[in-house]
Structure 1
Amino acid sequence: MRYDRTVHLDADFATTVARVREALAEQGFGVLTEIDVTATLKAKLDHDMEDYVILGACNPQLARRALEADRTAGLLLPCNVVVRRDGDRTAVQALDPGTMVTLTELDALRPVAEEATRRLDAALASLTEARTAG
């Protein structure tokens, strides 16, 4: 089972993180949390790894709808988006919102997951479109 939606970009890491934030905002998502996995593992374990950031993105309207359908759905919020170096490219990965329906088996969450999928796909597509348009 695939649980990610991924695009690869030929842009540098910092530029990609900024572009992802913009693309998410254009689709109504705010970034509530940012976990710099690279810095955390270096500071806590003295472990070196490639650039890797987890953005906790939330669309308040979709979150409200999901929580109204099932209060436990908060365990699956916010939508995590990973930006990481992948060789000489930068990968942007979002958790497939359909996973929420698969895990909970609640049909009431299906419309929320479908809209979240449309918005995340639009954000990811805008990243690749900006690359080809530039």
Structure 2
Amino acid sequence: MSYHFSKTVGLPFDAAVAAATESLKKNGFGVLTQIDVKDTLHKKIGVDFRPYLILGACNPKLAYEALTLEDKIGTMLPCNVVVQQHRDNEVEISAVDPVASMSSIDNPNLARVANQVRDLLKKVISDIA
């Protein structure tokens, strides 16, 4: 089982970030955090890195449901979506597979929620042009 789903898009990096953010919104997610890995690595350790942005996405209804089922599930929230530019200037968008990340938790009700989130995140990725 893979821990993510990914898609290469024919968009420049900034347009891919905007498209990912809009697709998340259309599918019931908000972006709680945005981590610019390229900028952070440059500031903290002085290295140059490719454009790489981590969007911390959350579907409030499903997050609430998960939190009521497992009080420590916040250690696995929010769901990360990564937009990265590769050396050949191709831009890839990836989302975590919550089923894979939560598979070690023995809670069938949580597995049901994780499957719902997985389906939505797959739609987020597939909807991006």
Task: Give TM-score scaled by structure 1 length.
Answer: 0.91
What are the Cα deviations for residues 30-72 of structure 1, in whole angstroms up to 9, with x where unaligned?
0000000000000111100100000000000010010111011
Aligned to 1:56: 56
Aligned-pair RMSD on alpha carbons?
1.0
Letter in 1 for 2:122: D
Aligned to 2:118: 117
Contact 1:98 1:114 in 2 (8 A): yes
Aligned residues with identical type, % of pairs? 37
Query: How far apart, in 1, do the equivalents of 2:100 and 2:106 lie?
Result: 10
What are the Cα deviations for residues 90-112 of structure 1, in whole angstroms up to 9, with x where unaligned?
11111101024312132121111
Query: How far apart, in 2, do the equivalents of 1:57 and 1:35 lie?
Result: 12
Deviation at 1:2, TM superposition (A): 1.3
For 1:1-134, list aligned pairs within 5 A. 1-86=1-86, 87-127=88-128, 131=129
Task: Give TM-score scaled by structure 2 length.
Answer: 0.95
Contact 2:3 2:101 in 1 (8 A): no
Contact 1:37 1:54 in 2 (8 A): yes
Structure having the larger proportion of residues in helix: 1
Structure 1 unmatched ranges of 5 or more: none
Letter in 1 for 2:20: V
Give the number of aligned pairs.
128
